[in-house]
């Protein structure tokens, strides 16, 4: 029997999943976090994840999912020879898309959650701002939730608190949760591996900064 008061957060150490981690801490009695290595170029995101999990006081597990990078090519997050798409191509996801990433991450998380006796899974995916990634869409998450429950005969619930929020609203949520400064200073969202405000040039930095500027303007800071 899974515990409905506990949650496992898929946690990368970025802005979105850190906001989700603190959201989960507010919503559930017991919170765990799981972080993956998947052959990403910037493995220092793992260091940020470890540190934030420690600050948050949650049990943290690091899992090696680097088989993902061994079965794909052409992804600019895992292959140093591929130059990153600056804009999203019209007819396909940008080459920062890691095919199957959320499928594997959530499936592995569910198996581990079953081991922990944990009913709830939390992921920071969303389709408001960056719908170029099909595995961030609500329809995929709902479908996977059904499949995972069928696969293990369990009643997992996948929570996506950021699904319909834009970056400005995600900053606002971090602020409400009392972790605005922690998210701003300690998280790593930048595709070039620079912590906090990042390189300022990559698509992830631009998106993050635009949301931050909107939030700061709105709150007159």
Q: Could you tell me how many residues make up the chain? A: 221
Residue 112: both structure tokens together: 């581990």
- Rounded least distance, CB 4 to Zn ion, Å: 38
- Rounded least distance, CB 98 to Zn ion, Å: 17
| Cβ nearer to Zn ion, comparing 179 with 202 | 202
Residues of the shown chain interacting with Zn ion in the complex, contacts defined by CB under 5 A: 190, 192, 198-199, 202, 205
What is the H or E stretch that residue 24 is in? helix 15-27
Other CB atoms within 10 A of residue 206 CB:
15
Residue 105: both structure tokens together: 């991450």
Judge contact between 53 and 12, C-beta under 8 A: no
| Cβ nearer to Zn ion, comparing 107 with 192 | 192
- Rounded least distance, CB 111 to Zn ion, Å: 32
| Cβ nearer to Zn ion, comparing 13 with 198 | 198
Judge contact between 45 and 13, C-beta under 8 A: yes
Judge contact between 181 and 40, C-beta under 8 A: no
- Rounded least distance, CB 126 to Zn ion, Å: 19
Judge contact between 198 and 208, C-beta under 8 A: yes
- Rounded least distance, CB 10 to Zn ion, Å: 22
Estimate to the nearest angstrom the gap between the alpha carbon of 162 and the chain centroid.
10
Residue 14: both structure tokens together: 């970025």
| Cβ nearer to Zn ion, comparing 9 with 204 | 204
| Cβ nearer to Zn ion, comparing 44 with 192 | 192
């Amino acid at each position: 029997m899974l515990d409905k008061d506990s949650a496992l957060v898929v946690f990368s150490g970025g802005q979105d999943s850190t906001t989700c981690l603190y959201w989960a801490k507010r919503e559930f009695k017991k919170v765990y976090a799981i972080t993956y290595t998947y052959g990403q170029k910037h493995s220092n995101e793992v260091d940020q994840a470890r540190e934030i999990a420690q600050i948050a006081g949650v049990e943290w597990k690091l899992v090696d999912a680097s088989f993902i990078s061994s079965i794909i090519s052409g992804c600019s997050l895992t292959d140093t020879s591929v130059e990153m798409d600056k804009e999203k191509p019209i007819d396909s996801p940008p080459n920062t898309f890691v095919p199957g990433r959320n499928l594997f991450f959530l499936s592995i998380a569910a198996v581990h959650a079953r081991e922990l006796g944990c009913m709830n899974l939390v992921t920071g995916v969303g389709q408001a701002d960056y719908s170029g990634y099909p595995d961030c869409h609500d329809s995929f998450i709902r479908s996977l939730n059904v499949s995972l429950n069928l696969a293990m005969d369990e009643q997992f619930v996948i929570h996506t608190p950021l699904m319909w929020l834009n970056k400005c609203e995600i900053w606002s949520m971090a602020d409400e949760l009392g972790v605005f400064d922690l998210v701003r200073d300690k998280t790593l969202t930048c595709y070039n591996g620079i912590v906090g405000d990042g390189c300022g040039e990559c698509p992830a930095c631009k998106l993050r900064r635009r949301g931050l500027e909107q939030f700061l303007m709105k709150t007159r800071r």
